[in-house]
Protein backbone atom coordinates (compact mmCIF):
# COMPACT_ATOMS: atom_id res chain seq x y z
CA UNK A 1 0.00 0.00 0.00
CA UNK A 2 1.43 3.41 -0.87
CA UNK A 3 1.44 6.39 1.46
CA UNK A 4 -1.04 8.09 -0.77
CA UNK A 5 -3.52 5.25 -0.49
CA UNK A 6 -3.02 5.17 3.22
CA UNK A 7 -3.92 8.83 3.53
CA UNK A 8 -6.93 8.31 1.36
CA UNK A 9 -8.27 5.64 3.69
CA UNK A 10 -8.17 7.92 6.67
CA UNK A 11 -9.64 11.14 5.43
CA UNK A 12 -13.15 12.33 6.13
CA UNK A 13 -14.08 10.00 8.91
CA UNK A 14 -16.85 12.36 9.98
CA UNK A 15 -19.23 11.56 7.12
CA UNK A 16 -19.93 8.85 4.59
CA UNK A 17 -18.70 8.76 1.05
CA UNK A 18 -19.88 7.03 -2.09
CA UNK A 19 -17.78 6.76 -5.23
CA UNK A 20 -19.03 8.31 -8.46
CA UNK A 21 -19.92 4.82 -9.71
CA UNK A 22 -21.80 3.93 -6.53
CA UNK A 23 -23.76 7.18 -6.82
CA UNK A 24 -24.77 6.28 -10.37
CA UNK A 25 -25.86 2.79 -9.37
CA UNK A 26 -27.87 4.02 -6.40
CA UNK A 27 -29.47 6.78 -8.47
CA UNK A 28 -30.56 4.32 -11.14
CA UNK A 29 -31.87 1.81 -8.63
CA UNK A 30 -33.90 4.48 -6.82
CA UNK A 31 -35.43 5.77 -10.05
CA UNK A 32 -36.30 2.30 -11.34
CA UNK A 33 -37.81 1.35 -7.98
CA UNK A 34 -39.87 4.54 -7.69
CA UNK A 35 -41.20 4.09 -11.19
CA UNK A 36 -42.07 0.48 -10.52
CA UNK A 37 -39.65 -1.01 -13.04
CA UNK A 38 -37.78 -3.09 -10.49
CA UNK A 39 -38.52 -4.54 -7.07
CA UNK A 40 -35.69 -4.20 -4.54
CA UNK A 41 -36.48 -7.72 -3.31
CA UNK A 42 -36.12 -9.10 -6.84
CA UNK A 43 -32.74 -7.36 -7.23
CA UNK A 44 -31.64 -8.74 -3.86
CA UNK A 45 -32.61 -12.22 -4.99
CA UNK A 46 -30.50 -11.96 -8.15
CA UNK A 47 -27.54 -10.56 -6.23
CA UNK A 48 -27.90 -13.22 -3.56
CA UNK A 49 -27.60 -15.92 -6.20
CA UNK A 50 -24.13 -14.52 -6.95
CA UNK A 51 -23.08 -13.51 -3.45
CA UNK A 52 -20.23 -16.02 -3.34
CA UNK A 53 -18.91 -14.71 -6.65
CA UNK A 54 -18.43 -11.08 -5.74
CA UNK A 55 -15.16 -9.61 -4.54
CA UNK A 56 -11.81 -11.13 -3.68
CA UNK A 57 -12.90 -12.90 -0.47
CA UNK A 58 -9.67 -12.15 1.35
CA UNK A 59 -11.15 -13.27 4.64
CA UNK A 60 -11.11 -16.97 3.77
CA UNK A 61 -7.40 -16.78 2.95
CA UNK A 62 -6.69 -14.94 6.19
CA UNK A 63 -8.53 -17.58 8.21
CA UNK A 64 -6.84 -20.47 6.38
CA UNK A 65 -3.43 -18.95 7.01
CA UNK A 66 -4.20 -18.49 10.70
CA UNK A 67 -5.16 -22.18 10.88
CA UNK A 68 -1.85 -23.33 9.42
CA UNK A 69 0.62 -20.73 10.72
CA UNK A 70 0.64 -20.23 14.51
CA UNK A 71 2.86 -17.13 14.31
CA UNK A 72 0.47 -15.50 11.84
CA UNK A 73 -2.49 -16.45 14.01
CA UNK A 74 -0.91 -14.77 17.03
CA UNK A 75 -0.10 -11.69 14.96
CA UNK A 76 -3.68 -11.61 13.68
CA UNK A 77 -5.14 -11.73 17.18
CA UNK A 78 -2.67 -9.09 18.40
CA UNK A 79 -3.27 -6.64 15.55
CA UNK A 80 -5.41 -7.84 12.66
CA UNK A 81 -4.89 -4.70 10.59
CA UNK A 82 -1.13 -5.13 10.67
CA UNK A 83 -1.23 -8.90 10.15
CA UNK A 84 -3.55 -8.67 7.15
CA UNK A 85 -1.44 -5.92 5.58
CA UNK A 86 1.59 -8.27 5.60
CA UNK A 87 -0.33 -10.53 3.19
CA UNK A 88 -0.23 -7.76 0.62
CA UNK A 89 -3.97 -7.42 0.28
CA UNK A 90 -4.88 -4.01 -0.95
CA UNK A 91 -8.04 -3.50 0.96
CA UNK A 92 -9.70 -0.49 2.49
CA UNK A 93 -11.16 -2.70 5.22
CA UNK A 94 -7.73 -3.31 6.68
CA UNK A 95 -8.17 -0.32 8.98
CA UNK A 96 -9.31 -0.99 12.54
CA UNK A 97 -9.83 -4.68 11.94
CA UNK A 98 -10.09 -6.91 15.01
CA UNK A 99 -10.00 -10.71 14.81
CA UNK A 100 -11.88 -12.61 17.50
CA UNK A 101 -11.17 -16.30 17.97
CA UNK A 102 -13.79 -18.98 18.47
CA UNK A 103 -12.85 -21.62 21.03
CA UNK A 104 -14.77 -24.46 22.66
CA UNK A 105 -15.42 -21.99 25.51
CA UNK A 106 -16.45 -18.98 23.46
CA UNK A 107 -18.33 -18.35 20.22
CA UNK A 108 -18.21 -14.91 18.60
CA UNK A 109 -20.88 -13.31 16.48
CA UNK A 110 -20.82 -9.94 14.72
CA UNK A 111 -23.59 -7.44 14.10
CA UNK A 112 -23.12 -4.37 11.98
CA UNK A 113 -24.90 -1.19 10.96
CA UNK A 114 -24.05 -1.90 7.32
CA UNK A 115 -22.67 1.53 6.71
CA UNK A 116 -20.81 2.24 3.51
CA UNK A 117 -17.70 0.59 4.96
CA UNK A 118 -19.08 -2.92 5.41
CA UNK A 119 -16.00 -5.11 4.85
CA UNK A 120 -17.24 -6.99 1.78
CA UNK A 121 -13.68 -7.47 0.50
CA UNK A 122 -12.95 -9.64 3.51
CA UNK A 123 -16.28 -11.29 4.07
CA UNK A 124 -18.08 -11.22 0.76
CA UNK A 125 -21.49 -9.59 0.48
CA UNK A 126 -23.65 -9.38 3.57
CA UNK A 127 -26.62 -11.72 3.61
CA UNK A 128 -29.99 -10.03 3.10
CA UNK A 129 -31.20 -10.78 6.65
CA UNK A 130 -28.14 -9.01 8.01
CA UNK A 131 -29.66 -5.72 6.89
CA UNK A 132 -32.79 -6.20 8.94
CA UNK A 133 -33.11 -4.22 12.17
CA UNK A 134 -34.80 -7.14 13.99
CA UNK A 135 -31.74 -9.32 13.39
CA UNK A 136 -29.54 -6.72 14.97
CA UNK A 137 -31.60 -6.18 18.10
CA UNK A 138 -32.38 -9.85 18.58
CA UNK A 139 -28.75 -10.83 18.12
CA UNK A 140 -27.88 -8.67 21.10
CA UNK A 141 -30.78 -9.81 23.29
CA UNK A 142 -31.03 -13.47 22.34
CA UNK A 143 -27.91 -14.59 20.47
CA UNK A 144 -28.52 -18.27 21.18
CA UNK A 145 -31.99 -18.03 19.69
CA UNK A 146 -30.72 -16.28 16.58
CA UNK A 147 -28.00 -18.87 16.13
CA UNK A 148 -30.56 -21.65 16.54
CA UNK A 149 -32.56 -20.09 13.69
CA UNK A 150 -29.48 -20.47 11.52
CA UNK A 151 -29.14 -24.09 12.55
CA UNK A 152 -26.12 -23.35 14.71
CA UNK A 153 -26.32 -25.10 18.04
CA UNK A 154 -23.60 -24.71 20.60
CA UNK A 155 -22.97 -26.58 23.83
CA UNK A 156 -24.71 -24.90 26.78
CA UNK A 157 -21.38 -24.13 28.42
CA UNK A 158 -20.10 -22.19 25.39
CA UNK A 159 -20.32 -18.48 26.04
CA UNK A 160 -21.58 -16.32 23.15
CA UNK A 161 -20.04 -12.90 22.65
CA UNK A 162 -21.77 -10.42 20.33
CA UNK A 163 -19.60 -7.74 18.74
CA UNK A 164 -21.08 -4.58 17.31
CA UNK A 165 -19.22 -3.32 14.26
CA UNK A 166 -18.88 0.41 14.03
CA UNK A 167 -17.24 2.78 11.63
CA UNK A 168 -14.11 2.59 13.75
CA UNK A 169 -13.88 -1.14 14.32
CA UNK A 170 -14.75 -4.11 12.19
CA UNK A 171 -14.63 -7.68 13.36
CA UNK A 172 -13.54 -10.87 11.71
CA UNK A 173 -14.48 -14.09 13.47
CA UNK A 174 -11.70 -16.66 13.38
CA UNK A 175 -13.69 -19.92 13.38
CA UNK A 176 -12.32 -23.19 14.76
CA UNK A 177 -10.49 -25.32 12.23
CA UNK A 178 -12.67 -28.29 11.24
CA UNK A 179 -11.68 -31.76 12.42
CA UNK A 180 -10.20 -34.07 9.82
CA UNK A 181 -8.20 -31.42 7.96
CA UNK A 182 -4.73 -32.38 9.19
CA UNK A 183 -2.14 -31.78 6.52
CA UNK A 184 -4.45 -29.71 4.31
CA UNK A 185 -2.98 -26.83 2.35
CA UNK A 186 -4.01 -23.23 2.94
CA UNK A 187 -5.78 -23.28 -0.40
CA UNK A 188 -7.81 -26.38 0.48
CA UNK A 189 -8.66 -24.94 3.89
CA UNK A 190 -9.73 -21.58 2.43
CA UNK A 191 -12.40 -23.44 0.44
CA UNK A 192 -14.02 -24.47 3.72
CA UNK A 193 -14.29 -20.93 5.09
CA UNK A 194 -17.75 -19.51 4.52
CA UNK A 195 -18.90 -15.93 4.92
CA UNK A 196 -21.28 -16.96 7.68
CA UNK A 197 -18.45 -18.61 9.61
CA UNK A 198 -16.57 -15.30 9.58
CA UNK A 199 -19.51 -13.37 11.01
CA UNK A 200 -20.29 -16.12 13.50
CA UNK A 201 -23.67 -17.24 12.20
CA UNK A 202 -22.32 -20.48 10.78
CA UNK A 203 -19.47 -22.96 10.92
CA UNK A 204 -16.86 -23.66 8.25
CA UNK A 205 -17.78 -26.42 5.82
CA UNK A 206 -16.99 -29.95 6.92
CA UNK A 207 -14.41 -31.88 4.91
CA UNK A 208 -16.06 -34.20 2.44
CA UNK A 209 -19.50 -32.62 2.74
CA UNK A 210 -21.03 -31.48 -0.55
CA UNK A 211 -20.44 -27.76 -1.07
**Contact set with other proteins (CB under 8 A):** 12-18, 21-32, 35, 37-39, 42-43, 46-47, 49-50, 53-56, 113-117, 120, 125, 166-168
Q: How far is the CB of 45 from other proteins (least distance, A)?
A: 8
Q: Are the beta carbons of 125 and 55 closer than 8 angstroms?
A: yes
Catalytic status, residue 116: yes
115 is catalytic: yes
137 is catalytic: no
Catalytic residue among 115, 137, 153, 185: 115
CB-CB contact of 194 with 141 (8 Å): no
Instruction: Tell me how far, at minimum, the Cβ of 122 lies from other proteins, in Å.
Output: 13
CB neighbours of residue 146 within 10 Å: 23
For this structure, is 185 an active site residue? no
Question: Of the listed 91, 112, 165, 197, which one is catalytic?
Answer: 112
Going by their DSSP bridges, the two strands 159-164 and 97-101 should be labelled as: unpaired
Closest residue by Cα to residue 139 from 119, 163, 118: 163
Residue 81 C-beta: closest distance to other proteins, Å: 17
Choose the catalytic residue: 116, 137, 153, 185. Answer: 116
Query: Which is nearer to other proteins, 23 or 148 (by Cβ)?
Result: 23
Question: What is 65-117 written as a DSSP string?
Answer: HHHH-HHHHHHHHH-HHHHHHTTT---GGGTTEEEEE--SSEEEEEE----TT
Q: Output 75 or 167, the one with its CB closest to other proteins.
A: 167
* Residues with active-site annotation: 112, 115-117
Amino acid sequence: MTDHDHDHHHHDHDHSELSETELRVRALETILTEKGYVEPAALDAIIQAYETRIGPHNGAQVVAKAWTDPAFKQALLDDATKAVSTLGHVSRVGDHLVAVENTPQRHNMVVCTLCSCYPWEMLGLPPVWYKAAPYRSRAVKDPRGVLADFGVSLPKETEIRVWDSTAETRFLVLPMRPEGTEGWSEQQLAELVTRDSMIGTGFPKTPGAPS
